[in-house]
Chain A
Amino acid sequence: MLELRNLRKSYGSNQVLNDISLDIQDCEIVSVLGPSGCGKTTLLNVILGITDITDGQIIFNGEDISEKPMEQRGFNIVFQDYALFPNLNAYKNITYGLKNNPNISTQEEVEGLINLLNLNEHLDKSINQLSGGQKQRVALARTLVMKPKLLLLDEPLSALDGVIKESIKERIKTIASEYKLTTIIVTHDPEEALTISDKVLILNKGEISQYGTPEEIINAPKNDFVKEFILKQLTIKKNNIFSLFGGNNE
């Protein structure tokens, strides 16, 4: 279980995260949702360990890891731009971590991941030859080889279009349940957040606006921000799609 206790982060007088407290249960998928500048990327960096916190505690499975350096926390991330190494082909990217830690995943486990992510025919390709969706899957595989205790995904779908978006979404869900992974996803898209996760954390101006299941957010929005910025968008989308299919939107 990951517990955040009264987390604060400020740069000078600029308060980026203010009094964030919440629990994330094992094997849960949690989306962090909010407009740009709300602090969601900072929260991600703080949990990962790139950024130090100003105040508060991060507790993972009962241990206070607030001061622990990033590489000792055992968490891992897939960045928005994937950060694949262009000097290595897809397979070498996937197995990058094995050079440092040969026993972290067995050959069978690596092959299992490659199969699950449907990457078999792309292993010899250089990074520049891969499509956006393929890059995303390679980056996911590379991270999963490291068997992270917590998986962080930064805007994993924003660079992908239509159909691929939906298929990657499904894959993320499959991986989370298959590997029993606690997953935190940062996104600015309400539809994405509410359809992929067990719980959604809505941030506004560095504070928690609402933290709950998708149903709770739809049926019991806690404040005007959630209503105005999250629900309104979804309603417009819903109406558009209904009118497109000529159906009744009630």
Chain B
Amino acid sequence: MNKKNFEIKTIFVFVTVLFTLFLIVPMCFVLIKSVMADSGGLGFEHYIDVFTSKGFLQAVGRSFLVSSVSAVITVVLAFIIAYAVNNTNLPNPLKKIISITTVFPMLLPTITYGFAIIYSLGKKGLITEFLGLNVEIYGFRGLVLGYVIYTLPIAFMLINNTFKYIDKKFIIVSRVMGDSPLQTFFITCIRPIIGTLGAAFVQSFFLSFTDFGIPAAIGGEYTVVASTLYNEMLGSAPNFGNGAVVALVMLIPSILSIILLNRLEKYNFRYNTSSNIGIEKNKVRDFIVGILSVVILICVLSVFVVIFIIPFVESWPYKKIFSIEHIIEFFKDTSLFKIYLNSLLVSLLTALCGTLIAYGAALVTSRSTLSRKSKQVVESIALIINTIPGMVLGIAFMLVFSGTSLRNTFFLIVVCNIVHFFSTPYLMMKNSLSKMCASWETTAMLMGDNWFKTIVRVVTPNAKFTIMEVFSYYFINAMVTISAVIFIVGARTMVITTKIKELQHYAKFDDIFTLSLLILATNLIVKGIFAFISKSQEKRKEKR
């Protein structure tokens, strides 16, 4: 190897080998498994088997239906909230509260959403009793509600981000040109974000289609693709060949989504400037949008109230008396607390190693002189991962590594998480690194630094905030994920989310909600620590 660029080449080779072993090879295994006849040799019997069974096509149809309906609702709600935050004169503290509460559900695993819905809106549920409702929530309705809660934060973040960069000056221009208020609304508000609205729809659809936690909790008899996939792999009569076929079917909408998302990019406006000129006074508008947003958020949050209540009640719904017995018992049960420690370990390792790998990969593409081909390799890895649902990755890992000594190890779970969530951290890092001055490395080298010293003394300190964001992204996602890890955990390496799935069979909902609370508390602490660090850093900067 040429001595020049030795370090960055080493990183490139490491990243490529890692993703070849833990992404490309496993995915090829799924493909091979799907075309292997049980008798050995090639054959399409699994495809025929899966597609001729009546239940499967029905499940696909249901998945499409329920995901589309949820995505439409999500986008509308997310738009209202984003509009309230960006285009009204609501007081700033209220806007801040709205933004923060909207993304709150991200701190909890999706499987918890399902159980929270059951305990809120099911028969004898908290809200059911409080409002005297009687709605069937198992199946379609429950799924839609769960998916909307799950995808609202992501849709909101997408739309909010675009809204922020709309040049508000154009509202004034449109008004002085004599447009009617409705025309102004369409030209200056809807048109600039139409691409993002599309992207939010696609993203919500994709997430709902591939989510495992919500149908696992609340799907009931209403079978969707995700539940079929789980049953083929870990159900009472597993059939790995059929499972591989279902996994590949799940991959199709995912790939289509990514293609669509790239197409939608073109609809996005690029404003040269973003002048903040102030928003026109309109009390009626502010009032309506403000009330709507608050109502939406109260509805979302009310579903989660049960999580805070059930563990502290003696026997829900029969003996509604305050008691901390469950909590005491929970902490006495060392096996449950050990699972929490497992989750903590997995999340910390995922965040630590994942951040390093995303950082390394981003250095290759944005701060090195490696060939364009090498950079394209890294870019393609990120793109491929974006199209692969967690469940499919988990199944791929299960097929490749069962029978090896890696099976059920923490190592494998951590690697699986790192691969699964790689895209976003990588893009965050790349974005931040490519904005930095291009001449730093040359300058530092002329001052006597070697490559490593430059990274430590200059690049890393300036990427500090992004590194912290990436770390907390990896940590929180590793804490709440279930879709991939459900297929690769073992008895010794159980994490909280998979334990919740197990506890479902014993109907131990006190423990389920207590574990969920632990996840929530941990995520809040991590968020809090990073918020504190960046705040105090900023203050120090201001003082200087």
Contact = CB atoms under 8 A, between A and B. Distances in A.
Are A and B physically bound partners? Answer: yes
Contacts of B457: 85, 96, 99
Given A71-B446, A76-B446, A83 B437 contact: yes
B93 interface: no
6 shortest interchain CB distances as A-B pairs: A100-B448, A97-B447, A87-B461, A83-B439, A79-B439, A83-B443
Given A83-B437, A100-B453, A125-B544, A146 B447 contact: yes
A70 B445 contact: yes
A57 interface: no
A123 to B, nearest CB: 12
Contacts of A125: 544
A97 B448 contact: yes
Nearest to A95: B447
Interface string B409-449: 00000000000000000000000000001011011111111
Contacts of A248: none
28 contacts: A50-B442, A71-B445, A71-B446, A79-B439, A79-B442, A79-B443, A83-B439, A83-B440, A85-B440, A85-B444, A85-B457, A85-B458, A87-B462, A87-B464, A89-B544, A96-B444, A96-B457, A97-B448, A99-B448, A99-B457, A100-B447, A101-B448, A124-B544, A125-B544, A126-B541, A126-B544, A129-B544, A143-B446
A126 B544 CA distance: 7
A81 B449 CA distance: 20
B11 to A, nearest CB: 21
A83 B446 CA distance: 12
Contacts of A79: 439, 442-443
Interface in B443-490: 443-449, 453, 457-458, 461-462, 464
Max chain A Cβ within 10 angstroms of own Cβ: one of B443, B444, B457 = B443
Interface in A76-90: 76-77, 79, 81, 83, 85-87, 89
Interface of B: 4, 437, 439-440, 442-449, 453, 457-458, 461-462, 464, 541, 544
Contacts of B453: 100
B442 to A, nearest CB: 6
Interface in A121-157: 124-126, 129, 142-143, 146
Interface string A86-112: 110100000011011100000000000
Contacts of B439: 79, 81, 83
Interface of A: 48, 50, 69-71, 75-77, 79, 81, 83, 85-87, 89, 96-97, 99-101, 124-126, 129, 142-143, 146
A142 B457 CA distance: 15
A87 B458 contact: yes
Contacts, number: 58
B292 to A, nearest CB: 40
A50 B541 CA distance: 34
Contacts of A86: 462
B450 to A, nearest CB: 9
Max chain A Cβ within 10 angstroms of own Cβ: one of B440, B446, B461, B541 = B446
Nearest to A74: B446
Nearest to A69: B4
A142 B447 contact: yes
Contacts of B437: 81, 83
A199 B323 CA distance: 90
Contacts of A71: 445-446, 448
Given A86-B462, A142-B447, A146-B448, 20 more contacts: A48-B442, A70-B445, A71-B446, A71-B448, A76-B446, A77-B446, A79-B442, A79-B443, A81-B439, A83-B442, A85-B457, A85-B458, A85-B461, A87-B458, A87-B461, A96-B457, A100-B448, A100-B449, A126-B541, A129-B544
Contacts of B461: 85, 87
Contacts of A87: 458, 461-462, 464
A68 to B, nearest CB: 13
Nearest to A143: B446
A158 B462 CA distance: 26
B543 to A, nearest CB: 10
Nearest to A125: B544
Max chain B Cβ within 10 angstroms of own Cβ: one of A75, A97, A126 = A97
B442 A77 contact: yes
A198 to B, nearest CB: 24
Nearest to B440: A83
A179 B443 CA distance: 21
B448 A85 contact: no
Nearest to A80: B439
Contacts of B448: 71, 97, 99-101, 146
A85 B544 contact: no
B67 to A, nearest CB: 45
Contacts of A85: 440, 444, 457-458, 461-462
Contacts of A83: 437, 439-440, 442-443
Max chain A Cβ within 10 angstroms of own Cβ: one of B442, B464, B544 = B442
A75 B443 CA distance: 11
B172 to A, nearest CB: 31
